[in-house]
Chains A and B, each alone.
Chain A
């Protein structure tokens, strides 16, 4: 069973993958809720454009998305350069860049899940909260948000899973640097390029399967708990 033991480098890749996915999920969540709310509730010129922009990473080849990120968010890119100069935030060839790539790639899934649950909210409940004296921000926090919690959790799990598996945009934007940007998929890819390293690829594959299963079970338990607490299921 010795072949099952992960090497230090492989552990690093596992840790990095989890870190990248967690950050990608947490940081994109507020934006995801905001965009989902705007798309579900507001009408404005350019709404179709925003909707298309959000969904673009779903349709484009991941390599293209990664390349666009490299052009815009790289150190010489207009946004990347600005962030580097003024805030010292660097994405290019860092794990933060991997998180950004994963977040962008998963964003359509996140927005979609939350938007659907916002559209399912009974707006009459929000009106009722208004007559009880709750101002619109409070209505959102105390009524809308709790009611869309299942959708938010579903969106977060999807985002996390997508981030764990993201390959094309990540490797294009931040390359495949062990210890910095080498995540599980890129590490597996590396193994498949080396003759006789099949055991390593298999080990990491098993780890991927285990993490995906754990996330799925966790989301299932959470969703069940929420629906029970609302007496909906």
Chain B
């Protein structure tokens, strides 16, 4: 699937002028509030009309102001999960799901409602009305309703924004399953870099109505110039890994990456599972000599590729035997260690977080689309 957007829209003092293309399974639209994220996906959904521009999905033109094409929202078959869920208050959850299904053309009704119900864990809620649901339950029901309409593309506008941390943790795995199992491309709007880093395969960064960066998640996340203090903490490199074996004696798991093996606290997964390790730049230390007698388990021989100095600190890009790593160090350390491209050194990885089943090339999960239909391609 490919989504191509090139639009211009002026709303009072605010101007949106955006062009990007993505083929990702989950494309995050990332930016601060007021950066134009919601305006942009409303244009994609057909809830707004751009002053000028084109929007197309898989070569099908939805909007082209030049030739006067505007496909109305109800003919676009784009699922939309709103920030405020917007379930119909006069219908039960079951009826809300049925409503989604009702208007999908018969020939194109691939959504399997019982499976959606199971995937989202909303079975026990089916006979309740939205007023009797918690925030997290509402989000899940809204995701289910959008899916039940058999959409070609899912738009999710900060579906977690109104939830507390516990509820967020409850929903995130469902979004991951959606990305990996449903076989529909997703555009996910968020201003929380942690969510974006966890979910996205591709990222489009919006700032003041313009595209500040766009591309595969790993590349975009590594860029320093996007960063605010909060985001800088989350600047991370992504390392593709395969779980090799478990070390039961110490409760560790051994991962194989392009550059070598990593030992991490035990992960609940079967050997052979592909995963994506996220290594935050602030969790990587640098040493010129191989550190001896150190508690950290992962010492990687690496070479400096690039040093980007910011106002307060510097981001060091490393090549660790094929894995790209980022390290955040002070500018004083840059001078003290004489960090420069080509310098060999040791990287000490203090912590790793994992997004499971995330790596490209994994065997596809059980899709919600039966009999081999795959909208991913």
Contacts of A229 in B (CB 8 A): 90
Q: Is the CB of A128 within 8 A of B89?
A: no
Residue from the list B74, B102, B130 in contact with A131, Cβ < 8 A: B74
Q: Does B100 contact A (CB under 8 A)?
A: yes
B75-83, B302-310, B331-339 - interface stretch: B75-83
Q: Does A198 contact B (CB under 8 A)?
A: no
Q: Using a Cβ–Cβ cut-off of 8 Å, how many residues does chain B contribute to the interface with A? A: 30
Q: Is the CB of A130 within 8 A of B74?
A: yes
Contacts of B104 in A (CB 8 A): 133
Contacts of B14 in A (CB 8 A): none
From known contacts A143-B88, A231-B89, infer whether A131 and B131 are also in contact, taking CB-CB under 8 Å. no
Contacts of A134 in B (CB 8 A): 74, 99, 102-103
Contacts of A138 in B (CB 8 A): 103
Q: Does B84 contact A (CB under 8 A)?
A: yes
Q: Is the CB of A131 within 8 A of B89?
A: no
Q: Is the CB of A127 within 8 A of B103?
A: no
Q: Does A132 contact B (CB under 8 A)?
A: yes
CA separation between A130 and B82, bound complex, in Å?
13
Contacts of A132 in B (CB 8 A): 74, 79, 99-100, 102-103, 145-146, 149
Shortest beta-carbon distance from A169 to chain B in Å: 37
Q: Is the CB of B80 within 8 A of A128?
A: yes
Q: Is the CB of B90 within 8 A of A133?
A: no
Residue of A nearest to B131 (CB): A231
Q: Does B45 contact A (CB under 8 A)?
A: yes
Q: Is the CB of A147 within 8 A of B103?
A: no
Residue of B nearest to A127 (CB): B47
**1/0 contact string of B52-96 vs chain A (CB within 8 Å):** 000000000000000000001111111110101010111000000
Residue from the list A122, A129, A131 in contact with B79, Cβ < 8 A: A131
Interface residues of B (CB under 8 A from A): 45-47, 72-80, 82, 84, 86, 88-90, 99-100, 102-104, 129-132, 145-146, 149
A-B contact pairs, 5 of them (CB 8 A): A125-B89, A127-B86, A131-B79, A132-B145, A135-B72
